[in-house]
């Protein structure tokens, strides 16, 4: 089977969950004997640069000014409008939401829907609804839609007129750490245990809710630091929110964006805390589990489906519940040990090999190819 992936995720993201997902399944499909090509004429993606065994139709630019983004988008569309049909794929897996197809002749199209955040929180996207219209157009065109969780599939089918039979759930895999990496409980540079938070911090991510939860516990706010990884640097608003929750500015810090740093933080944190009120899947809790970090997370949307019984969970809308859940983990060596063991088992069930195999089965349903 000849499988083509388009450029969209790779021109949008330098790093990111969507582009990493595409690269991982493309690598696994190639290893299993499929003919795979990624068509990203001009891109800036590090995951694609670091990929192994992939046919890459394009070049990485280390960076380009924001004002040139639209011109590069149009150039990529123009180039791929010729190159993808000329390659004669059996199926195209579109990597994001485009209103127009790229196949030229009628090539079956598969699309992954990662979440319905735009539809649930339109106020977070100041683009006048354009992104939502493109997404709906891409969904309508696709021959088959992969949803990354049952939660996302339920939302998709309830918020649109997409029939359930057009969809299939394929869970992500997770990158497992090198077995030689040790697992240890680390301390901050002030000698205190730290709680790890990963990702953006606005809106439904509920970072302020986490601060209020930690602030509701005098023990936690006195004993622990909060280490934030990813997203922009901490802002004055972040520090003010911490102060309003009773957390000293000295107890919260940003740790950067490098993947090697994140892996170390997972191994050293007293707990990984994920207070999000909505996720289409939720990769960071699985990553934390894979690295031996006990997970404390909300019980909203897809997260119970992902973490199973391998996390301490809480109501993300209740600061007291957040604080109590974190206390049950941080102050109990027994509970930490239980979660670390359960987390390793849970993460091991989410492999990229399985994800690629099930994705390949989806391609077979739209191409008629044998297994």
Which tens digits make up the pLDDT trace of 125-163?
A: 776 556 788 899 999 999 999 999 999 999 999 999 999
pLDDT given for residue 190 in this prediction: 53
Other Cβ atoms within 10 Å of 341 Cβ, number: 13
- Classify strands 271-274 and 295-298 as parallel, antiparallel or unpaired: parallel
Contact 58, 77 (CB under 8 A): no
What Cα–Cα distance (Å) separates residue 20 from each residue in 4, 26, 74, 191? 16, 10, 23, 34
Side-by-side strand order, sheet with 194-198: 252-254, 225-229, 194-198, 271-274, 295-298, 312-314
pLDDT given for residue 187 in this prediction: 47
In 3D, which of 199, 336, 213, 365 has the Cα closest to residue 281?
A: 199
pLDDT mean for each 10 residues of the chain (371 residues): 96 91 97 96 92 89 77 92 94 94 81 94 72 89 97 97 97 85 48 92 96 97 96 95 96 89 94 98 97 97 98 98 98 98 97 98 88 48
Common-topology check for domains 2-173+351-367 and 194-348: yes
CATH number of 2-173+351-367: 3.40.50.2000
CATH number of 194-348: 3.40.50.2000
Global pTM value = 0.92
Name the residue ranges covered by the structural domains of the chain.
Answer: 2-173+351-367, 194-348
pLDDT given for residue 158 in this prediction: 96
């Amino acid at each position: 089977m000849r499988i083509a992936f388009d450029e969209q995720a790779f021109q949008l993201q330098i790093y990111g969950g969507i582009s990493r997902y595409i690269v991982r399944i493309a690598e696994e499909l190639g290893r299993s004997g499929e003919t795979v090509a990624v068509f990203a004429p001009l891109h800036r993606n590090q995951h694609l640069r670091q990929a192994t065994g992939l046919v890459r139709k394009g070049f990485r630019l280390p960076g380009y000014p924001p004002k040139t983004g639209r011109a590069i988008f149009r150039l990529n569309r123009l180039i791929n409008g010729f190159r993808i049909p000329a390659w004669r794929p059996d199926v195209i897996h579109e990597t994001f939401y485009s209103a127009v197809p790229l196949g030229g002749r009628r090539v079956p199209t598969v699309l992954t829907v990662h979440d319905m955040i735009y539809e649930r929180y339109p106020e977070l996207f100041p683009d006048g609804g354009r992104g939502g219209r493109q997404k709906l157009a891409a969904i309508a065109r696709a021959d088959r839609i992969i949803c990354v969780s049952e939660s996302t599939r339920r939302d998709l089918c309830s918020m649109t007129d997409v029939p359930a039979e057009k969809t299939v759930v394929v869970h992500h895999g997770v990158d497992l750490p090198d077995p030689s990496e040790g697992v240890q409980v680390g301390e901050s540079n002030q000698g205190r245990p730290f709680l790890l938070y990963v990702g953006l911090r606005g809106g439904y991510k509920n970072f302020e809710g986490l601060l209020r939860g930690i602030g509701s516990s005098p023990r936690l706010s006195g004993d622990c630091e909060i280490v934030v990884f990813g997203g922009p640097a901490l802002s004055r608003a972040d520090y003010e929110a911490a102060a309003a929750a009773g957390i000293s500015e000295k107890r919260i810090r940003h740790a950067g964006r490098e993947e090697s740093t994140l892996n170390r933080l997972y191994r050293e944190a007293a707990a990984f805390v994920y207070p999000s009120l909505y996720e289409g899947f939720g990769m960071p809790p699985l990553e934390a589990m894979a690295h031996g970090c006990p997970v404390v997370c909300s019980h909203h949307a897809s997260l119970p489906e992902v973490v199973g019984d391998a996390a301490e969970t809480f109501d993300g809308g209740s600061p007291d519940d957040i604080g109590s859940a974190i206390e049950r983990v941080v102050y109990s060596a027994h509970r930490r040990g239980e979660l670390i063991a359960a987390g390793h088992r849970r993460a091991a069930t989410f492999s990229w090999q399985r994800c690629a195999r099930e994705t390949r089965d989806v391609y077979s349903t739209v191409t008629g190819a044998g297994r």
